[in-house]
């Protein structure tokens, strides 16, 4: 009798534990502390995007541009992206390193090296969803806010009063912009958040989130690569522990979705991008894990 009661107690406990884990559901993240307004994120991103377009070789191939926009629009239709109200844009740049980056407020740049490296559309959607999540969670301006707590309020206030360029004002604080700016170097916890939210965006768009885990796994396995630029993504996006496992766990808690969406343009994109010869990267630093300087 007593033994039975213990057994019953144990199974009740296990049931409660299981239901509490179930009730947790997918991770929900909100943007953290920020001295910038959302409008300032947008302005900063647009000024910075104009600078990037001067520095990098943006590609005006209608097929490639349409393709990344088609995938991007499906991700933008997801709930968390819609709630953010950020105006996302998607452009392709001729750069052999496997990477993509998104500026505050929404402008995203996707390297031809990434388009060449993905095995399927879902893997591209995974990286794009990850980048969009950095924008939605405002990681770039959150990081700049934490580092420049004392000086930023005055700069942002004077910027609002006049029409001066935000980039110019921030440069006075030593906040560099362009492809290597502080807005694009994230902490490992920001990376984990972007992975998990990214898995939601892609799942809602009909792409299997497990493909994001597979792609990161593939990149990790390639190490430095023949050109030394294969792992560039991990230079800008430090690898959290057990990254693939965490994405897989999240994929299992997500509400059941129908995966397998494809635009039907993947092989045409692959053929178009294979014809692009990228300029040699200008003295890019060797990829190595970056620690945020606090």
- The footprint of Zn ion (CB under 5 A) covers 191, 194, 237
Q: 143 vs 169, which CB is nearer to Zn ion?
A: 143
Radius of gyration, alpha carbons of the chain? 21
Smaller CB distance to Zn ion: residue 52 or 194? 194
The answer to whether 238 and 289 have CB atoms below 8 angstroms apart is yes
Q: Between 191 and 208, whose beta carbon lies closer to Zn ion?
A: 191
E strand intervals along the chain: 89-93, 100-102, 107-111
Residue number, 229 or 272, with CB nearest to Zn ion: 229
In the complex, the smallest distance separating the C-beta of residue 186 from Zn ion, rounded to whole angstroms, is 5
Q: Taking the complex as a whole, how short is the minimal distance between the CB of residue 236 and Zn ion, in angstroms?
A: 7
- Shortest Cβ distance from residue 264 to Zn ion (Å)? 28
Cα–Cα distances (Å) from 217 to 186, 209, 223, 282, in that order, read 19, 13, 10, 27
We find the least distance from the C-beta atom of residue 195 to Zn ion, in angstroms, to be 8
Q: What is the DSSP letter of 288?
A: -
- The answer to whether the CB of 272 falls within 8 A of the CB of 226 is no
Cα 148 from chain centroid?
23
Q: Are 76 and 18 in contact (CB under 8 A)?
A: no
Residues near 250 by Cβ (< 8 Å), separated by ≥ 6? Answer: 26, 27, 195, 196, 199, 200, 209
**Residue placing its CB nearer to Zn ion in the complex, 36 or 183:** 183
Q: Which of 43, 55, 51 is nearest to 164 (CA)?
A: 43
Write down the residue that tokens 């910038």 correspond to. Answer: 36
Judged by beta carbon, residue 98 or residue 272, the one nearer Zn ion is: 98
Q: Calculate ∠ Cα 91-182-273, nearest 5°.
A: 25
* Nearest residue to Zn ion, scored by beta-carbon proximity: 237
**138/237 with CB nearer Zn ion:** 237
In a 10 Å sphere around its CB, with 0-12 CB exposed, 13-18 middle and 19+ buried, how is residue 96 labelled? Answer: buried
Least distance (Å) between residue 10 CB and Zn ion: 42
Shortest Å, Cβ 161 to Zn ion:
34
Minimal distance, residue 270 CB to Zn ion, in Å: 24
- Min dist. Cβ of residue 238 to Zn ion (A): 8
Question: Which residue's CB is nearer to Zn ion, number 96 or number 198?
Answer: 198
Q: Give the orientation angle of helix 188-204 with respect to helix 243-253, to 10 degrees.
A: 40
């Amino acid at each position: 009798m007593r033994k039975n009661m213990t057994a019953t107690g144990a199974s009740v406990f296990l049931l409660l534990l299981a239901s509490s884990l179930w009730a947790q559901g997918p991770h929900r993240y909100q943007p953290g502390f920020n001295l910038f307004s959302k409008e300032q994120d947008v302005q900063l991103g647009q000024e910075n995007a104009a600078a990037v377009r001067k520095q990098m070789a943006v590609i005006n191939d209608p097929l490639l541009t349409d393709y990344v926009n088609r995938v991007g629009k499906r991700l933008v239709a997801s709930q968390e992206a819609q709630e953010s109200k950020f105006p996302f844009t998607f452009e392709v740049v001729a750069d052999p390193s496997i990477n993509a980056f998104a500026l505050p407020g929404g402008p995203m740049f996707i390297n031809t090296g990434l388009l060449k490296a993905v095995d399927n559309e879902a893997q591209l959607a995974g990286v794009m969803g990850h980048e969009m999540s950095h924008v939605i969670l405002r990681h770039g301006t959150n990081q700049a806010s934490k580092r420049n707590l004392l000086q930023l309020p005055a700069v942002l206030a004077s910027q609002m009063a006049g029409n001066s360029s935000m980039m110019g004002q921030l440069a006075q604080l030593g906040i560099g912009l362009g492809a290597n700016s502080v807005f694009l170097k994230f902490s490992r916890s920001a990376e984990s958040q972007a992975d998990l939210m990214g898995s939601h965006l892609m799942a809602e768009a009909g792409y299997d989130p497990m493909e994001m885990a597979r792609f990161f796994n593939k990149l990790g396995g390639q190490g430095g690569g023949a050109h030394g630029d294969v792992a560039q993504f991990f230079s800008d996006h430090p690898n959290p522990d057990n990254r693939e496992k965490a994405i897989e766990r999240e994929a299992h808690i997500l509400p059941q979705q129908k995966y397998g969406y494809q635009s039907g343009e993947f092989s045409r994109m692959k053929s178009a991008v294979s014809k692009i010869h990228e300029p040699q990267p200008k003295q890019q630093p060797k990829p190595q894990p970056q620690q945020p300087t606090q």
